[in-house]
Chains A and B, each alone.
Chain A
Amino acid sequence: MPTFTPPPLPSDDKRWKIVNGTMRKNGFARNALIETLHTVQSSFGYLDDNAIRFVAQSLRVPLSQAYGVVTFYHHFSLKPPGKHTMTVCTGTACYIKGTDKLLASAEAKLGIAQGHTTKDGNISLMTARCVGACGRAPVVLTDGELQGMMTGEILLEQLERWAVE
């Protein structure tokens, strides 16, 4: 039986070495698929076709299965994120305290629907299913930083600040 040699790295980009490192740490086992995709997502910010193909080949997982996993879990994104990301928590506690209105005002301000990025690639508007800071509801994450007791004014101010940057 011929021994398996993983495919070469797609480019010289150092981030591929990090991805390869995760796979090597797990002995290129098939069950490391989700772990590896996490590494790709955190290194590149999203998963493109190229990356999914590379991971699938390296782990000897059918491409369909890799794509199935990527689309099943909400955490994985197939689109590149904007320069800044505004994530609005839509968990129950935040909902009761009115994040639906926050989200609607952000959508109106940016002119995009949730889950999209503005045309200039500056701001992404995302939603999260509970970040576990319900004691501070309503909560938004601005570039990953948690901010509690959010109001419409503060939210719009932040968006304004990013827009003029």
Chain B
Amino acid sequence: MTYEELDQIAKAARAENDKYEHEINVCMGTGCLSQHSDKLKEALAASVAAQGKNTFVRRTGCMGLCAAGPLVLVDPQEVLYQHVSAGNAEAIVNSLDGEPVTALQCDLRDHFDRQVHIVLENSGHIDPEKIDDYIARDGYQALVSALTDMTPKGVIHQVTESGLRGRGGGGYPTGLKWGTVAKASGDMKYVICNGDEGDPGAFMDRSVLESDPHRVLEGMAIAAFAVGASKAYVYVRAEYPLAVSRLATCLRDARRRGLLGNGICGTTFNFDVEIRLGAGAFVCGEETALIASIEGKRGTPKPRPPYPAVSGLWGKPTLINNVETFANIAPIIRKGGKWFAGIGSERSKGTKVFALTGKITNTGLVEVPMGIKLREIIEEIGGGVPYGHTFKAVQTGGPSGGCLPAELLDIGVSYDALVKVGAMMGSGGMIVMDDTSCMVNVARFFIEFCMTESCGKCIPCRAGTAQMFTLLNRICTGQGTLDDLELLEDLCSTVKEASLCGLGQTAPNPVLSTLKYFRHEYIDHIVHKRCPAGVCNIKAPVAEIPAEVLA
């Protein structure tokens, strides 16, 4: 594959698209598929055929706004329809040459205009299972230019210059990590793509893998070239069957096109990728545990150092990055590190994809530049809290993150700012809670999660989270005392400081942050024996009635 060949494929694909007067894009991500968007697509295609319109009906990946699904986007007019069912197919096809169907039209300018799409730029525009669609939108150009015009050092320099930081949550500078693996000595090196998105309430990685798998693959190939690896693994959760099957198709197509395999682009660069299925263990999102899982063992973490960059998979130097990190690589190489560094805030560059869920109007995926205020994301892009309820808290970072109250909504979203207030970026889950959520109950939910997901290797995490759960359970059922609260705080610091891996070290975060910002709710449960949100099942204290009164 050379530039010219790539260009030819792109031109042919574009010419194929230009043959049609209209394009109807139907979202077929997991969210819309659950509402039978596959049947909708069939109905649209049948209707187009029946009316003899010169229109192409395309399956696409996620369009982001899951709350309004199934979504249909009509190009070139760029009309977005929401809540479309197979019954509406004919009306939409009829309207192609005239006025759009107003009853179905989705007019959420605020939602879309404030977003900046880099990772999601192809999502909703291409058919994820067609490699030509991806190439038509500048796909694989970055790989070809890296292989033919750049040195591995040059690639790493661009990534370093971009200021990209790991999107899995930790925020480690990606360029630095690549540099370490590139410098490590070894005959064999590995690249691993971490798609074990265990955070409940987060689905960015699933969506990227489902909507634009080639983007991730291209990022991985560039990474492998930069660090000198020739073998890679994608570790995906078994709970994401659609992502796995689309990824498998994508690998097969790339192999067929000579973008995977031996001697890619006529160079000496060999690269191949294998898919490994996760088996439902949250701890496997931790890099050393993930490596153990790929090796076919129980997913328990190891103390670091040695870091995987030096001794990882089968003791070889290994580069592990998150799905979203790899998805950022191709645009960086194509447009340059400086371009990327121009987006975002001072120490957090680029954009971040968030999964906006919970008690919010526009649930779904959003991609925003770093540094944007939480308030903008929630109130303007997210459309605020529905049904007249009031906002109480937003939870970021999954079970390792924290709950932030309304007073902190004006902070800018960046790795450092979120850590400073006791939460963390995490992989990008953002769960909004309103006045019907009890913060003590939420803290108990997260601790229960960490307790069941603890791998059991180190005692602070294994026993600590279990004890914390017992204490929180007592408080939730109205049996807690103020001594319990003190003990809980004490345990939090022990678990935080003494645990082996990230799971245990961050497990107390939900408790610490709710204690910090919503302490009055804990006091209400303990002292007044009541749950302000009415969630916890506290039995009313039975007054001691003297025996003689009863008699």
Q: Do A and B bind each other?
A: yes
- Enumerate chain A interface residues (CB-CB to B < 8 A): 30-35, 37-38, 61, 65, 68-69, 72-76, 90-97, 128-137, 139, 145-148
Chain A residues with Cβ below 8 Å from B35 are 136, 148
B239 contacts the other chain (Cβ, under 8 Å)?
Answer: yes
Q: Note all chain B residues with C-beta closer than 8 A to A95.
A: 200, 445
Alpha-carbon distance A107/B252, docked complex (angstroms)? 44
Contacts A129-B280, A136-B66, A148-B34; is A92 near B197 (CB within 8 Å)? Answer: no
Q: Is B130 an interface residue (CB 8 A)?
A: no
| Interface CB pairs A-B, < 8 A, 8 | A31-B296, A73-B281, A76-B279, A92-B200, A92-B358, A92-B429, A96-B357, A134-B66
A130 touches B69 (CB 8 A): no
How far, in Å, is A89 (CB) from chain B's closest CB? 8
Chain A residue at minimal CB-CB distance from B197: A132
Q: Interface size (B, Cβ < 8 Å)? A: 55
Distance between B181 CB and nearest chain A CB, rounded to angstroms: 21
Q: Is the CB of A134 within 8 A of B280?
A: no
Chain A residues positioned under 8 Å from B453 (CB to CB): 129
Measured between beta carbons, the chain A residues less than 8 angstroms from B202 are 130, 132, 134
**How distant is the Cα of A35 from the Cα of B379 in the complex, in angstroms?**
44
| Residues in A whose Cβ lies below 8 Å from that of B431 | 92-93, 96
Closest to B294 in A: A31
Residues B203 and A96 in contact, CB atoms below 8 Å apart = no
Interchain CB contact under 8 A, B206 and A132: yes
B binding-site residues for A, Cβ under 8 Å: 30-31, 33-35, 66-67, 69, 197-203, 206-207, 237-240, 276-282, 293-299, 355, 357-359, 363-365, 395, 398-399, 429, 431, 433, 437, 442, 445-446, 449, 453, 455
Residues of chain A within 8 A of B197, CB atoms compared: 132
Q: Do the beta carbons of B238 and A130 come within 8 Å of each other?
A: no
Separation of A132 and B203 alpha carbons in the complex (Å): 5
The reply to whether A75 and B280 contact each other, CB–CB distance below 8 Å, is yes
Identify which of A35, A139, A146 contacts B33 (C-beta below 8 A): A146
A110 to B399, CA, bound (A): 31
Closest CB in chain A relative to B240 CB, distance in Å:
6
Q: How far is the CB of A159 from chain B (nearest CB, A)?
A: 19
Please give me the 5 A-B residue pairs with the lowest Cβ-Cβ distance, nearest first.
A135-B66, A91-B200, A73-B279, A74-B280, A92-B201
B200 and A130 contact, CB distance less than 8 A: yes
Q: Which of B294, B357, B359, B442 contacts A134 (CB 8 A)?
A: B357
Query: Per a CB cutoff under 8 Å, which of A38, A72, A96 touches B359?
Result: A96
Taking CB atoms, residues of chain B closer than 8 Å to A147 are 34
Q: A92-B201, A92-B431, A146-B34 are in contact. Are A134 and B363 (CB under 8 A)?
A: yes
Inter-chain contact B280/A33, CB cutoff 8 Å: no
Q: Which of B33, B279, B365, B449 has the most CB of A within 10 A?
A: B279
Give A93 to B445 CA distance when docked, in angstroms. 11
Residues of B with C-beta under 8 A to A133: 30-31, 34, 66, 203
Q: In the complex, which of the residues A35, A96, A134 has the most CB atoms of chain B within 10 Å of its own CB atom? A: A134
Instruction: Give chain A nearest CB distance to B384 CB in angstroms.
Output: 16
- Tell me, rounded to whole Å, the shortest Cβ–Cβ distance linking B65 to chain A: 8
* Distance A146 CA – B429 CA, assembled complex (angstroms): 20
Known: A75-B280, A96-B359. A129 touches B200 (CB 8 A): yes
> A130, B358: Cβ atoms under 8 Å?
no
